[in-house]
Structures are given as structure tokens and as C-alpha cells.
Structure 1
């Protein structure tokens, strides 16, 4: 290939070939990196459009309300605004209403398909902002719910399916608590846990049919609060904020009445503010991909938190 006795020329040819190979390699790496970056951006952006930092009051128009989608004509919120009550926050003040069995309360939501991790920081007070609400079961938080394609005429009992994690006052008026509730075919099961503050970050992660509910108190670390396996939940869910207050007054009505009525004779006592609504697509490490996420024997809290805790921004 090379002329005998002319090593300089051979060296130059080798150098040219090496340079050409280097250029080709650089081009291949650049294309690969560009493709990889594009994939990462696409994955990161799949749910990003649904997030809301509440720095623009106009984004209120991006949210749906179930009293509208289910055509009850009963707006159970006395007030809803972005930035007016508390700059940079969404604030909800409900009339007397509740979520329990067939009772349906307030849900301000976006429809989300597939896996997700949704996070907010909630601040809960009574109406005069002096502490915990003084009416039983006055709370606000994150909720995921199976959509119902009904209206006030076609509504039938037994159709509620949802999960939520909320904070406020539960069965002890004037004391803060967490309430978590899972409802299947209108059969509600709830858990209450005492809380020393009305401020917390809360998070719900969906991984297929598994739902992980997490919480973080001020100056604390993320904790796994509850785990639920809900294979009945459809691919697309209503995901957003719920608020409810004054169960004793609401329960004097039948579910059908309460669901389609603005109750003005009760003792509502709740202001719920949410600093942001951040929703991301979860990235499950390969070593955990085939685990049962609602079984602590299959995957520990610490292992869940390795990708559902501080890793989520």
C-alpha cells in the first residue's frame, strides 16, 4: 500500500486516515447524544404541560371542575383563585361538602394518562386563619379519581372510585391531622394520623396499578405514608386538588342531595392554599421494575424513596 523507502509519506497517509476516522466518530457520537437528549426531553416534557406554579392567574382556566363535567350545577366552592388570596398560590374555600361513600365534594383537576408523580405544598387553616379548622373533617389535599360520565339525572350510587391524601382537621375539631382515604365502588376506607402543623408537602405516585402516597413535613425528609393497589383504576384519571369541610352538616343530606346542592346552612371552616402543582413521569430503576410496589416485602420504603423522594423535583 505504501511506497517502500518513503516512511514520511506513509506517516502522512496514516494521519489523514486517523483524522477522517476521528471526524466520523465525532459525528456519530454527536448524533447519538442529540438523539439521546431528544428522547430525554420528550420524556421529561410528556407531563410538564400539566404542571402549574401558580404565578399567573390566567392558568386557572386550564383546570376542570367536576360540578361542571358532571353537570350538577352546584358549585361547592365559595371561592377559588390564583394569586389573589395568597400571591403565588391557588386558594380554595369550600362550602359545606364532603367526600365519603357516595357523597361527592370538590375536585379541581386535570386529566392525566399513564404513570405520574404529582406533588404540592399545602397550607391549611380555619377561616379566620388562627389555626386548625373547627368543623369535623375539614381538609384539603391531592386526589386521584376515576372519571364518571354522568350527570345529575343519570347518577347512581356505588360509582365512586378514588384515593386522596389530605391534611386539616379530621375527627377532632381544632387539631391538625392527615387523612388518607381509598374508595372503591363507593366503599370508603380511611386512616387518620395526628399532625402538629397545617403545612406539608404531599405526593401521589402512580406506577401502573400501584399508588404510593408520600408526605414531607417542614424541615423533615420524605416518608411513604400509605401504599394502595388499585387495579380497578383506568388508564386516565382526574388528578388534582380536593377540599371538603363540615361533615356533620353535609351528612344531614342524602348523597344525591348533597352532591347537587350548595349547602349554605352549615358550619364550613376551611381555607386551603396550594403553592404549586408539579407533575412528572416517574423513572423506575431497572432493578425495581418488576417489583410489587405496594408490598413492603418486595420493595422497602427506603428503596421507593430512592426514586420517589428527593429525586423528584
Structure 2
């Protein structure tokens, strides 16, 4: 293990770039107007599924989002604010997901956090199924009401797989690190210094561009249950279903990863150009390689 960690350290020892080209994408949300962000619904012709959005009014110094009854799963879409990123990245956000009157959002499947999505050219006008590809890490409530979790989810051609793991309420930091074909999802409670690896994703992705940003979604017991019609659901907004989920984002910060990987796909799949693709890599080695 010590040899492996040392090898990873050597790969990160290249001289740092004078100025990280991704830091300009960061946002402290201290202003009065939200700028530089693309809204998924507005960009692709979908209806507005945000019950509320404001900057610094509900929560001073923070972006505030409240979604209607929506979900990011399979072919369904929900509120998403993003910036386009070419190549590898390390994105972090300090967020809080809660209800109107408490630390835990109401209902079930009420979560918010970070997502990295592969653009697919699909719009409301030319929508087609089985075209969604993305990874995310969120915090909030999953299938069990009143229990705070992190949810990590990976969707490949609109087939979603997820993991729910207990996590503290209140402000937390979430993190996604893309290094070639590897994506690492991390989280840490507010005030702690050590990151926790919550999931690892491995997928060959030849397109360097991803949409990276913030998502919020929730479900309502008022919604009618039945067969899922994603196109119909995506084109409509249930504004009367009761929801109780709020996402506050104190800041989001972008940078290039500490670990540099080979752009050659053969080097990626053999592991020679990306040691992070080793499924046996320990959490200790991952944290040593990506830094704090």
C-alpha cells in the first residue's frame, strides 16, 4: 500500500499551472444576480420546474432552490444549473438540504447536490429516450422519510443505478473529481477536514465536454402513481402537489484535479495512464492522490 501511494504521489508531482483555468467558473453566490450559469430547462425548452429560486434573499450569501415534484432518474429531468467543462475537473460545493421548518426535507426522494452530465443534443423539440448519461452526488432524504443520506447515482443510456448511505444533516461539502474515465464522489460534514469516498464510477467517455453544476429534486405523496411516461412527465409541471424540500448553496468551486492522467484511451483502460482506475485502490490511496 505504501508503494502504491508513493507511485500516485509521483504522478501528481508535475509543476502546477501558473493559474488554474477552471477557477473562473467558481461562484461564491455573494452577489445580487445569478450570472454565468445555464439553466437546463431554459437551454433545452423544458418547462420551469422550480417553485422558487433566489440569490441571497431567503438565505443571505447563498443560492436558494426549491423544486416542484421532479426527479433526476432514468429519462426524467429536473432543475439543473450548470457550466460547461472540458476535460478533467475537481468541483466542490457547500450545500444544505432541509425542509421549510427543519433540518430534514419532508417526504421522500428529496435531495440536492452536484451533477456532471454528458451533453446529448436532446431538446424538448427532438427528445428521444435512452440518451441520458451522467453521475451525481447529492444529500437529503431517500426512500425512507426522516433519514438523511447521501445519494450517488450513475446513469448510462438512461439506466440509473444508485447508492444511499447515511450522512449528517445541516451544511455539508460535496465533491466530484473527474480523471479520465474515472469519477470519484466524495462528501464531508461541515467543519471536518477529511473527505469520505462515497462512490467510484468507471466509464469510457470519449467526449471531453461535460455539463457540471447543481441539481435539486423531490417527490410528493400527492402525485398519482402509475406507469412512468418520461416524455409526458418531462413536459409537465405539477404545481399543486405538496413538496417540502429546500437546497441552499453557499459556494461552488471548480479546479483542475491534482492528479494528471493520460489522454490516450489505451493508457486509460490498461491502467498505465490512470492508476485511479484500479478497483482495488484503497480510500487512503484515493485521498492521497486527489488531495484535500
| Fold match (TM-score > 0.5) | yes
Q: 1:225-240, aligned counterparts within 5 Å?
A: 225-232=198-205, 234-240=207-213
Supply the RMSD in Å over aligned alpha carbons.
Answer: 2.2
Cα distance in 2 for partners of 1:172, 1:267 equals 17
Q: Is the 8 A contact 1:124 1:132 kept in 2?
A: yes
Listed one character per residue, the Cα deviations across residues 57-76 of structure 1 (whole Å, up to 9, x for unaligned) are 23x1211111111112x100
Give the superposition deviation at 1:205: 0.2
Q: Which has the higher contact order (CA 8 A, sep 6+)?
A: 2
Matched, 1:204 2:186: no
| TM-score w.r.t. length of structure 1 | 0.79
Gaps of at least 5 residues in structure 1 are: 1-35
Output the CA distance in 1 between the equivalents of 2:238 and 2:225. 11
Partner of 1:303: helix, strand, or coil? helix
Say yes or no: does 1:66 pair with 2:40. yes
Name the SS of the counterpart of 1:67 in structure 2: helix
Number of residue pairs aligned between Structure 1 and Structure 2: 267
- Aligned ranges for residues 1-313 of structure 1 at < 5 Å? 40-42=17-19, 44=20, 46-58=21-33, 60-72=34-46, 74-126=47-99, 128-220=100-192, 221-232=194-205, 234-246=207-219, 249=223, 252=226, 254-284=229-259, 290-297=273-280, 299-310=281-292
Higher helix share: 1
Indicate how the Cα distance of structure 1 residues 251 and 90 shifts in structure 2: closer, same or farther if over 3 A, else same. farther
Q: CA deviation at 1:233?
A: 6.1
Q: TM-score, normalised by structure 2?
A: 0.85
User: How far 1:189 sits from its partner (Å)?
Assistant: 0.2
Q: After superposition, give the CA deviation of every residue in 1:170-226 in whole Å (9 maximum; x if it has no partner).
A: 001122111111000000001111223133111000001110111111343211111
SS at match of 1:276: strand
CA gap 1:41/1:251 in 2 versus in 1, 3 angstroms: farther
Give the match's secondary structure for 1:61. coil
